[in-house]
Structure formats: structure tokens, C-alpha cells
Amino acid sequence: MASVEHDLSPSQWTALQAAWGGCAYCGATGGPVQKDCVLPISRGGRYTLLNVVPACASCNASKCNDEVTGWLRRKRLDERAFLVRLATIQADLRPKSATEPCPPAPPAAR
């Protein structure tokens, strides 16, 4: 894990929290949120602007290292709304000169 680059800055984390306004998965507000990797570190993800979302403790613990779309379906959360909002927030926050590719897109909803 030492060779994995984690480059989410404190200002980027603050911007992500403001953009989501609560838990990215269930929408819970008013409580603390934790950094959650959409693509888990155990599956090749990193703590980066394009892979981290704020998650309430319940969602973060439940998702663990699951693939996000399958987990959203199992929890009966709105997979499409999450993916659309994720793409919108990533586009808004992504530095204009960024050369880092977006994380792999999860499989399309069926």
C-alpha cells in the first residue's frame, strides 16, 4: 500500500463535503461524514478527488469494500441518481488542467 498514491487535499475534502451536503449514498445530513472510496482501495482505488465521497458511518460500514453499484442495489438506494450526481460533482470539482483519468465507470444500471 505504500506505493499507492493518495492525493486528496484537505481543501478538496472540504469541497466534496460542501458539494454533496451530506452522505453521498443515503443523503443523511446533520451528522459527521467519513471519506469513502467509490472504488475501494482493496480493488485498486485511491483517496483522490475523483474517487472519494462523503459517507455517513452507517453507509461506509455497510459498503465496506463492495462494488458501489451492486451495494446500492442491495440497499435499495437510487443507483442512477448517485451516479449522475457523482459525475456532475466530479465535473464541477475537477481541475481544468487535470490529466488524471476518471476512475473506471461502474457497470450501467439495468
- The verdict on residue 5 lying in a domain is no
Grid coordinates given for 17: 463535503
85 within a domain of the structure (yes/no): yes
Give me the pLDDT at residue 14, please: 96
Overall pTM surpassing 0.85 (yes/no): no
pLDDT for residue 96: 73
Residue 22 domain boundaries: 10-92
Q: Rounded to the nearest 10 degrees, how much is the dihedral formed by the CA atoms of 84, 29, 94, 46? A: -90
Confirm if 56 and 26 have CB atoms less than 8 A apart: yes
Q: What is the pLDDT of residue 99?
A: 56
Quote the pLDDT of residue 85: 97
Please state the domain count of the chain. Answer: 1
Q: Specify the pLDDT at position 1.
A: 46
In a domain, 109, yes or no: no
**Domain membership flag for residue 101:** no
Q: Which residues lie closer than 8 Å to 100 by C-beta, 6 or more apart?
A: 48, 50
Query: Do residues 24 and 47 lie in contact, with contact meaning Cβ atoms separated by under 8 Å?
Result: no
Q: Is residue 28 within 8 Å of 56, Cβ to Cβ?
A: yes
CATH code, domain with 82: 1.10.30.50
Cell output for 23: 452522505
Residue 4 lies in a domain: no
- Going residue by residue through the chain (110 aa), what tens digit of pLDDT does each one get? 455 567 999 999 999 999 999 999 999 999 999 999 999 999 999 999 999 999 999 999 999 999 999 999 999 999 999 999 999 999 999 877 655 556 565 565 54
Residue 49 maps to a domain: yes
In a domain, 2, yes or no: no
Please check whether residue 107 lies inside any domain of the structure: no
